[in-house]
């Protein structure tokens, strides 16, 4: 026994080293793959950015007509049309993602607090698996429900004929709108946020909230001031994950809002919510049929590049936010 | 731990062997096709009939993905035939041969609750161009209120055909709702009593098809050439077709059996 001890330890050591090398190689391969992907997308997208400069991000003209002109470019590569002002897409992406994530965060926070602290045992036992199931539903199913049920309902019942007439020469209000997009997207991203927040709230030591209770604070206040605060980094992580999912959501949004490259104007009052829009990801889905037309394909890659950059910024922002909240966590991360 | 390894090796062999068997059995020539979703249903029916007729002389592989996907696939040699529902464009790669296989009718459709008795070229251009936005100013319409126009995305073959055949130089209404497929237009028009849109004839089920210039959008009127809204369907090859593909294209354009298949929902060239 005494003689074999060090040998086994040594062997275990070697196995560890081998595993370390293998995992390291895999991690490096993943990094390399990401680097290649970014380089590839940007190389493909370059002509579109180079031709338009900063005006690419600006507003101007009708985006759908610009896309048609790009698609119908003449055959000579030196005559390719690239002129594009992508502002309506960028604006719609920020608008729909932003509203959905804010709504989703509030909803999921309340739901998580209810599940952790207020729900009776049997309800908690059913709610939790249901939330996890909802988080795993593929987005195309939400899209189908959206286009078969919600869009016609809004178009035929909710939006009045007078409202449709008031803007009829500018835009048509047929039900596919930012409101339906935000509604469905919120329903889509909330479950995953609830699941993460529940785990986070539960990992707050009972002694902390009990301490607060011992000082005479009621349950709601103890949860709000102690539990929520301690769980903040995880909640930020949940919001980041949800934002990433919302940013990349393409099929569903293409089905329920991705109709017109239009920048809805908040000054229109209630009508604003019934106006259609198209996000960057939905544009890539809608335009995928024309990828083989070179300038059109390069324009689609430019949209993809913008999405890549924004998700990179998102990860970085999330890291910063978590760093600044480190003081609230139990152990240094 | 160790007993698992031989098992995994055996499993790997079994998988490898089963994969190897498949190509070995298929010694017959294979025709691969990709492209237009409008052509795909026709191509599938034709292929089935062709295999039955020639006693299984070839095998087919059919993929979809839109006209431009088919054209770029055939240009790069990934497939034997690229299916396209649009006419050749100046940006298409050189050396391609567009073999016309059939005509297809593009129908103007409205909701069943609004059976528009007819429309002419000026009417189509006014509605889809956005200068007429209210059903009350469309003669014969039983709907009232704003017109909801549904069109295809700019990159679609059907949109290309619609612009050329019906709109000419009129620019599409910029507020029109864009949909990514024939099926989505069909669904949207079915769900909205104020809707108008256009689809390939085979997608007009459950909708009211509006007679164009006094001619109903039916398979018979399209065949007789009376119906104006027709487009061409193509099978594109790199250079003139050779071997099995040549025989297949000749069968489509010359044989009576193929014409019968085409004439179910499309219009044969014969």
Tens-level pLDDT at each residue, chain A (333 residues): 445 556 677 777 788 888 899 999 999 999 999 999 999 999 999 999 999 999 999 988 888 889 888 888 777 778 889 999 999 999 999 999 999 999 999 999 999 999 988 889 999 999 999 998 998 888 889 989 999 999 999 998 899 888 888 888 888 888 899 999 999 999 999 999 999 999 988 888 888 888 888 888 888 888 888 888 888 888 888 999 899 999 988 889 988 987 788 888 888 888 999 999 999 999 998 887 777 778 899 999 999 999 999 988 998 988 888 787 776 655 444
Q: Is the pLDDT of residue B2 over 70?
A: no
What's the Cα-to-Cα distance from A142 to each of A111, A181, A182, A254, rounded to whole Å? 21, 10, 12, 12
Domain count, chain A: 1
pTM for the full model? Answer: 0.79
The whole-number pLDDT of residue B21 equals: 40
For residue A267, being part of any structural domain is answered with: yes
Is A152 in Cβ contact with B192 (below 8 Å)? yes
For residue A240, being part of any structural domain is answered with: yes
User: Which residues lie across from B35 on neighbouring strands?
Assistant: B83
Interface of B with A in 55-114 (CB under 8 A): 65-69, 71-72, 89-92
3-class state of residue B197 by DSSP: strand
> CA A17, CA A28: separation in Å to the nearest integer?
16
Whose tokens are 């910029």? That residue is: B174
Q: Among B193-202, B244-253, B260-269, which is the least confidently predicted range?
A: B260-269
Q: Among A164-173, B23-32, B47-56, B237-246, which is the least confidently predicted range?
A: B23-32
Nearest to B145 among A151, A165, A169 (CB): A165
Is B180 in Cβ contact with A254 (below 8 Å)? yes
Q: Is the pLDDT of residue B175 over 70?
A: yes
Q: Nearest-5° angle of CA B172, CA A64, CA A147?
A: 85
A30 CB-contact burial (10 Å; exposed 0-12 / middle 13-18 / buried 19+):
exposed
Q: Which domain holds residue A142?
A: 88-289
Least Cα distance to A249 among A185, A298, A315 occurs for A185
Q: Which residues of A touch B193 (CB under 8 A)?
A: 156
B106-131 pLDDT, tens per residue?
Answer: 999 999 999 999 999 999 999 999 99
3-class state of residue B144 by DSSP: coil
Is B89 in Cβ contact with A175 (below 8 Å)? no
Instruction: Find the closest chain A residue to B73 by CA distance.
Output: A292
Distance from CA of A6 to the nearest CA of B (A): 22
Number of other residues whose CB lies within 10 A of the CB of residue A221: 12
Residue A219 CA, distance from chain mean position:
33
According to DSSP, residue B170 is labeled P
> CA B4, CA A206: separation in Å to the nearest integer?
45
**Total residues belonging to chain A:** 333
Nearest to B90 among A75, A254, A294 (CB): A75
Which tokens sit at A181? 């997009």
H/E stretch holding A274 reads helix A271-274
Is B192 in Cβ contact with A155 (below 8 Å)? yes
Which tokens sit at A149? 């049920």
Give the CATH number, domain containing residue A120.
1.10.3720.10
Is B72 in Cβ contact with A172 (below 8 Å)? no
The whole-number pLDDT of residue A4 equals: 55
What's the Cα-to-Cα distance from B246 to each of A182, B33, B81, B237, B251, rounded to whole Å? 52, 14, 10, 10, 9
β-pairing, B148-152 vs B30-35, is unpaired
> CA A62, CA B167: separation in Å to the nearest integer?
18
The whole-number pLDDT of residue A222 equals: 85
Evaluate whether B235 touches B83 at the Cβ level (below 8 Å): yes
Q: Is the pLDDT of residue B213 over 80?
A: yes
Least Cα distance to A83 among A112, A105, A106, A62 occurs for A62
3-class state of residue A97 by DSSP: helix
For residue A63, being part of any structural domain is answered with: no
For residue A48, being part of any structural domain is answered with: no
Q: Among A188-202, A278-292, B48-62, B184-198, which is the least confidently predicted range?
A: A278-292
Answer yes or no: is the ipTM higher than 0.90: no
Nearest to B180 among A62, A175, A286 (CB): A286
> CA B174, CA A64: separation in Å to the nearest integer?
7
Q: Which residues of B touch A170 (CB under 8 A)?
A: 175
Distance from CA of B268 to the nearest CA of A (A): 26
B229 CB-contact burial (10 Å; exposed 0-12 / middle 13-18 / buried 19+):
buried
Is B180 in Cβ contact with A164 (below 8 Å)? no
The whole-number pLDDT of residue B6 equals: 43
β-pairing, B195-200 vs B96-110, is antiparallel
**Total residues belonging to chain B:** 270
Q: Flag whether residue B149 sits within 8 Å of chain A, measured between CB atoms.
A: yes
What's the Cα-to-Cα distance from A315 to each of A26, A39, A244, A307, B93, rounded to whole Å? 21, 19, 9, 12, 41
Q: pLDDT confidence of B55, banded at 50, 70, 90?
A: confident
Is B191 in Cβ contact with A164 (below 8 Å)? no
Q: Flag whether residue B155 sits within 8 Å of chain A, measured between CB atoms.
A: yes
Is A289 in Cβ contact with B178 (below 8 Å)? no
3-class state of residue B88 by DSSP: coil
For residue A266, being part of any structural domain is answered with: yes
The whole-number pLDDT of residue A267 equals: 87
Evaluate whether B45 touches B11 at the Cβ level (below 8 Å): no
For residue A322, being part of any structural domain is answered with: no
Provide CB contacts within 8 A for A96, sequence distance 6+.
A178, A181, A182, A185, A246, A253, A257, A277, A279
The whole-number pLDDT of residue A333 equals: 41
Q: Which residues of B touch A291 (CB under 8 A)?
A: 68-69, 72
> CA A301, CA A48: separation in Å to the nearest integer?
9
H/E stretch holding A138 reads none
Q: Is the pLDDT of residue B179 over 70?
A: yes
Number of other residues whose CB lies within 10 A of the CB of residue B118: 15
Least Cα distance to A290 among B20, B178, B51, B172 occurs for B178
Q: Is the pLDDT of residue B22 over 60?
A: no
Alpha helices in chain B (DSSP H): 4-25, 40-53, 67-75, 121-129, 157-162, 182-191, 219-224, 243-254, 256-262
> CA B32, CA A139: separation in Å to the nearest integer?
32
Q: A321-325 long-range CB contacts below 8 Å, 24 or more apart?
A: A321/A233, A321/A236, A321/A240, A322/A233, A322/A236, A322/A237, A325/A232, A325/A233, A325/A236
Q: Which residue has the higher pLDDT, A97 or B164?
A: A97
Whose tokens are 């006094």? That residue is: B214
For residue A317, being part of any structural domain is answered with: no
For residue A186, being part of any structural domain is answered with: yes
H/E stretch holding A219 reads helix A219-222
Whose tokens are 């007078």? That residue is: A162
């Amino acid at each position: 026994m005494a003689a074999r001890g060090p040998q086994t330890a040594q062997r275990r050591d070697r196995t560890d080293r081998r595993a370390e090398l293998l995992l390291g190689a895999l991690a490096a391969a993943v990094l390399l793959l990401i680097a290649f992907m970014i380089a590839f997308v940007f190389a493909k997208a370059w002509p579109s950015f180079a031709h338009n400069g900063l005006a690419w991000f600006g507003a101007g003209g009708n985006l759908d007509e610009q896309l048609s002109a790009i698609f119908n470019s003449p055959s000579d590569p030196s005559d390719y049309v690239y002129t594009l002002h992508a502002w309506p897409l960028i604006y719609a992406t920020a608008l729909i993602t932003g509203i959905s994530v804010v709504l989703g965060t509030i909803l999921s926070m309340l739901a998580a607090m209810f599940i952790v602290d207020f729900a009776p045992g049997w309800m908690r036992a059913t709610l939790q698996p249901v939330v996890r199931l909802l988080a795993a539903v593929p987005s195309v199913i939400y899209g189908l429900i959206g286009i078969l049920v919600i869009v016609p309902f809004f178009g035929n019942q909710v939006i009045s004929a007078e409202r449709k007439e008031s803007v009829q020469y500018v835009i048509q209000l047929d039900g596919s709108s930012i409101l339906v997009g935000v509604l469905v997207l919120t329903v889509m991203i909330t479950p995953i946020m609830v699941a993460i927040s529940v785990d986070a709230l539960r990992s707050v030591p009972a002694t902390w909230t009990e301490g607060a209770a011992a000082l005479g604070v009621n349950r709601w206040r103890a949860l709000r001031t102690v539990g929520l605060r301690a769980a903040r980094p995880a909640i930020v992580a949940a919001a980041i994950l949800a934002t990433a999912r919302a940013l990349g959501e393409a099929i569903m949004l293409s089905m329920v809002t991705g109709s017109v490259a239009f920048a809805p104007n908040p000054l229109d009052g209630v009508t604003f919510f019934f106006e259609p829009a198209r996000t960057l990801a939905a544009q890539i889905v809608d335009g995928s049929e024309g990828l083989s037309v070179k300038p059109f394909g390069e324009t689609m890659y430019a949209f993809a590049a913008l999405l890549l950059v924004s998700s990179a910024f998102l990860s970085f922002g999330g890291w910063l936010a978590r760093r600044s909240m480190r003081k609230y966590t139990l152990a240094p991360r | 731990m160790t007993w698992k390894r031989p098992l995994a090796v055996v499993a790997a062999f079994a998988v490898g062997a089963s994969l190897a068997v498949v190509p070995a059995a298929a010694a017959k020539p294979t025709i691969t096709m990709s492209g237009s979703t409008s052509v795909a249903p026709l191509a599938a029916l034709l292929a089935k009939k062709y295999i039955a007729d020639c006693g299984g002389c070839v095998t087919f592989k059919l993929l979809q993905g839109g006209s431009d996907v088919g054209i770029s696939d055939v240009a790069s040699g990934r497939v034997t035939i690229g299916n396209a529902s649009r006419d050749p464009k100046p940006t298409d790669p050189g050396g391609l041969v567009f073999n016309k296989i059939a005509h297809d009718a593009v129908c103007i459709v409205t909701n069943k609750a609004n059976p528009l008795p007819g429309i002419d070229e000026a009417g189509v251009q006014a509605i889809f161009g956005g200068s007429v936005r209210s059903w009350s100013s469309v003669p014969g319409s039983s709907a009232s209120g704003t017109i909801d126009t549904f069109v295809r995305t700019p990159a679609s073959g059907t949109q290309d055909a619609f612009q050329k055949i019906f709109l000419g130089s009129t620019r599409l209404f910029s507020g029109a709702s864009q949909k990514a497929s024939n099926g989505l237009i069909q669904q949207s028009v079915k769900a909205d009593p104020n809707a108008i849109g256009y689809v390939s004839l085979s997608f007009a089920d459950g909708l009211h098809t509006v007679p164009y210039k006094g001619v109903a959008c039916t398979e018979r009127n399209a065949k007789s050439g009376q119906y104006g809204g027709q487009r061409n369907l193509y099978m594109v090859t790199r250079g003139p077709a050779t071997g099995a593909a040549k025989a297949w294209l000749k069968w489509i354009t010359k044989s009576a059996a193929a014409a019968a298949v085409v004439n179910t929902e499309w219009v044969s060239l014969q």
